[in-house]
Amino acid sequence: QVQLVESGGGLVQAGGSLRLSCAASGRTFSSYAMGWFRQAPGKERDFVAAIRWSGNTYYAHSVKGRFTISRDNAKNTVYLQMNSLKPEDTAVYYCAANGAYLSSNYYLPNEYHYWGQGTQVTVSS
């Protein structure tokens, strides 16, 4: 069983930055693919970014060039650095882990086996 705990959310003005962290339990973290998703009220859970164990990264078009996903395997932690934030980035952000093999459908929530509880990000205009 893997437990994921997100932190770093909050309220920020448009154009500002936040860094989300996701701490994972388990001794095999380095082998997991990790992802970030977000869900705004009344909307579906959308893909934001993913990173494989190899370090390969993937981004949603809406965040590419503004957000950066990274991982520190020594700390069992994955990060999401969010710059140039916009009001439309407002959502609950979820960390997710794939404990097996992440296919080319890395953007689908059902590719991930474990989820955190989420952290709220609010961007004011």
At 41 the pLDDT is: 92
Show the low-confidence residues of the chain (pLDDT under 50). Answer: none
At 8 the pLDDT is: 98
Contact at 8 Å (CB) between 122 and 88?
no
At 1 the pLDDT is: 80
At 13 the pLDDT is: 98
At 24 the pLDDT is: 95
Contact at 8 Å (CB) between 80 and 49?
yes
